Each structure stands twice: as structure tokens, then as C-alpha cells.
Amino acid sequence: MRSVLGTIAAALLLAGVTATNVFAFGAGSGTTRDVANESEIREVYKQFTDAWNRHDVDAMANEWAIDGDHIEPDGTVAKSREEVRALLRAQHSGVFKDTKLELSVRTVWFVRGDVALIDGNYLISGVHDLEGNEIPPRGGHLTSLLIQEKGKWWIAASRLMIPMKLPYKKK
């Protein structure tokens, strides 16, 4: 009797571990749900890029979570959707008013089913300096954290970086 109960207990324990692992691994890359979510996330960035190129500040800012934030390459921080909106409005009424954005999402990594880490690249052309002179296009890297709430993906944190040569590296 004791060995039968031990076998049943071991089977139940193994079934519990397997069910947990299926759920944990099932939330990973390649599931139908992940493919759909990745498509939705890429659409967020397509809509953002289209809005940028129309200079539609409200449409751009509305991709952020209410309490989301954004950090520019120079360290400027916007902490909330409304601060992001104000930053974008200032940029697009000034130095970015004639810009064109090209943005590509390189990777989407699902930290959890409703949290994704994004890496991508961007190129902005048509930027003018403070004297009104057009400067060469500049490219950079973006990393963002997106969250899914109420059936929509929102930018919760966005970090932009412009790569530069480091004095302690050969390349």
C-alpha cells in the first residue's frame, strides 16, 4: 500500500512540475500568442513612425502608458505620457519639424506574456540645428519595455542611445 501511495504521489508531483513547465515555456518565443503579440508590438512602432512622419504629436504620445517614461540620448527625461507629449511637441515645433524617421524593431523578447523588451534602430533625417541649418542624418539604438494592459501594448519605458566610439576600445 505504501509503495502505491508513493507512486501516486510521485506521479502527481511530476504532473505538477510538467504542467508548470509547459506554462512557463509556453509563454516563450514561437507560440501562437507570442506571434500575435509580436505583430501587435511591431504595429505600435509602425503607427509611431507614421505619426512621427506626419508630426502628429498626440498620436505619438498616445503610444505611451499613462505612467510611462522616455529618456533621450542627451539624458532628457520625460516621466509620464503628458511629459512625453510635451517633449515631442517642443521637438516637433522646433528642430524636428521637418524630420523623417525610419525605425526598425530588431528583436522582441517576452519577459512575461504581458511584458516585452524591444531592441531596435532608428535614423532621423531633416533635423535642423538651433540656427536652422540641416545636420546630417543621425542614427541610434532604442530599447523599450512594453506592457500589455486592457488589450493594448503600451510603451512603459523608452531609452534612446546614439553609439559613439569609446576611447578605451580599438573599434
The secondary structure of the chain, three-state, reads CHHHHHHHHHHHHHHHHHHHHHHHHHCCCCCHHHHHHHHHHHHHHHHHHHHHHHCCHHHHHCCEEEEEEEECCCCCEEECHHHHHHHHHHHHCCCCCCCEEEEEEEEEEEEECCEEEEEEEEEEECCECCCCCECCCEEEEEEEEEEEECCEEEEEEEEEECCCCCCCCCC
Amino acid identity at 167? P
**What pLDDT does residue 3 have?**
54
pLDDT over 60 (residue 166): yes
**How many C-beta neighbours within 10 Å does residue 154 have?**
19
Does the pLDDT of residue 37 top 90, yes or no? yes
CATH number, domain containing residue 157: 3.10.450.50
| Confidence bin at 5 (pLDDT 50/70/90) | very low
One-letter amino acid of 105: V
Task: Tell whether 23 and 38 lie within a shared domain.
Answer: no
Asked if the structure places residue 81 within a domain, the reply is yes
Q: How confident is the model at residue 8 (pLDDT cuts 50, 70, 90)?
A: very low
What's the pLDDT score for residue 23? 33
In a domain, 169, yes or no: no
Residue 141 lies in a domain: yes
Same domain, 76 and 124: yes
Task: Indicate if 72 and 4 belong to the same structural domain.
Answer: no
Model confidence pLDDT, tens digit, residues 85-123: 999 999 999 999 999 999 999 999 999 999 999 999 999
Specify the number of domains making up the chain.
Answer: 2
Q: For residue 67, how far is the Cα from the chain centroid?
A: 15
Query: What is residue 34's predicted lDDT score, i.e. its pLDDT?
Result: 85
Same domain for 64 and 7, yes or no, is no
- Cα separation of 34 and 11, whole Å? 31
Confidence of residue 143 (pLDDT cuts 50, 70, 90): very high
Model confidence band, residue 9 (pLDDT cutoffs 50, 70, 90): very low
- Which residues span the domain enclosing 125? 32-161
Answer yes or no: is 167 within a domain. Answer: no
127 located within any domain: yes
Furthest C-alpha separation in the chain = 89
What is the pLDDT at residue 29? 53
The answer on 67 and 36 residing in a single domain is: yes
Look-up: residue for cell 539624458? Answer: 75
Q: Distance between CA 171 and CA 168 in Å, rounded?
A: 9
50-61 residue pLDDT tens:
999 999 999 999
* CA distances from residue 138 to 8, 147, 158 in whole angstroms, order as listed: 64, 28, 18
- Does residue 17 share a domain with residue 40? no
pLDDT given for residue 13 in this prediction: 41
Please give the mean pLDDT across all residues of the chain.
Answer: 86
Cα 10 versus chain centre, distance: 43
Question: pLDDT higher for 48 or 28?
Answer: 48
72 & 146 share domain: yes
